[in-house]
Amino acid sequence: MAQIDTSLLPHPTGAAARFAASHSSEHPPLKLYGGWFCPFVQRAWIVLAEKNVPHQYVEINPYKKEKHFLDLNPRGLVPTLSIELGSSSTTATATAGGNTKEKQRALYESTVICEYLDEAYADEARYGPRLLPAGDGDEEVVYQRARSRLWMNHVVTRVVPGFYRLLQHTPEKGYSIEEAREVFLKGLREFAQEMLDSPGSGRGGPWFLGERFGLVDVMLAPWAKRLFLIDHYKPGGVGIPKKGERGGDEEVWARWDRWFDAVVERESVKATWSEEDKYIEAYKRYAEDTTQSEVGQATRKGLSLP
């Protein structure tokens, strides 16, 4: 594997360094294995911060496929959670005298991890509001939960792949930067349009569900924070049209601005963010399309992301 992906700065900086340091003590019930630069990790990190969940953060380099990491996650990707079931800090009931080894479990995939954390730490009095609308009795709640999953899926299958296709664009590619930008902007515009059209309070925002921050916001927040990398590295940048130059789209992009301005200021998002120049360094390998990461290789081959 090329050195480029294994020579990453080995620790977070700035606010994320402080957040990691405040969660560095041994905590067997819940450990998050992550990499400071990784947007998928930031999703899980944001949920932990939102809900103030007791945990240990363990910084690793996922490109070095160390055995203890692969034992937890055979896919070898961060975020990875290590969980000890039966501990008192989750909703699971403690079983006395059991074999703790058997209760040691792992989970991976950022979307699965985020939903798990929201469910495992569901006590609203202790962990704050649920991030996915919860409850089965109310048909509106059940609908909003499904709708949230639909738009989480939009972020996962459309927006995120579009981000890498644009960021990894180089002049020798078989597609133009304009085309990559158009596809990416289409995904963002559709997201903003859905917020604008949404029934009830979602329309006014600032969040996807209106006044309530939720998992749809979590899914996209790390890439919203990383949009500046496209402006930094790619000619023409992200290309969101400027206010007053949006033609018939003034309203829809204004709704995007409202969401974006709120998300970059969200405490949990800021708390899990390192120093800006460190991302510029870390993403050079994407911008030059030399990364050996699985996301980078899949983008290069036109395959769906790992």
Give contact residues for ligand GSH (rule: CB under 6 A).
35, 38, 40, 62-63, 76-79, 109-110, 293-295, 306
Closest CB 277 distance from ligand GSH, rounded Å: 18
Give the nearer residue to ligand GSH in terms of CB position, either 255 or 278: 278
Q: At what angle do helices 39-51 and 110-120 cross, to 10 degrees?
A: 10
DSSP state of 93: P
Closest CB 227 distance from ligand GSH, rounded Å: 16
Give the nearer residue to ligand GSH in terms of CB position, either 76 or 210: 76
Closest CB 219 distance from ligand GSH, rounded Å: 9
Closest CB 184 distance from ligand GSH, rounded Å: 18
Give the nearer residue to ligand GSH in terms of CB position, either 78 or 218: 78
Q: How many CB atoms lie within 10 A of CB 36?
A: 28
Closest CB 14 distance from ligand GSH, rounded Å: 18
Q: How many CB atoms lie within 10 A of CB 85?
A: 17
Give the nearer residue to ligand GSH in terms of CB position, either 32 or 180: 32
Which candidate, 70, 52, 50, places its Cα nearest to that of 60?
70
**35 is written with which tokens?**
């990499």
HEC letters along 132-173: CCCCCCCHHHHHHHHHHHHHHHHHHHHHHHHHHHHHCCCCCC
**Cα–Cα distance for residue pair 230/207, rounded to 1 Å:** 24
**37 is written with which tokens?**
């630069």
Q: At what angle do helices 160-167 and 294-301 cross, to 10 degrees?
A: 80
Closest CB 238 distance from ligand GSH, rounded Å: 20
Are the CB atoms for 91 and 126 separated by under 8 Å? Answer: no
Give the nearer residue to ligand GSH in terms of CB position, either 233 or 256: 233
Give the nearer residue to ligand GSH in terms of CB position, either 69 or 253: 69
**Cα–Cα distance for residue pair 213/207, rounded to 1 Å:** 6
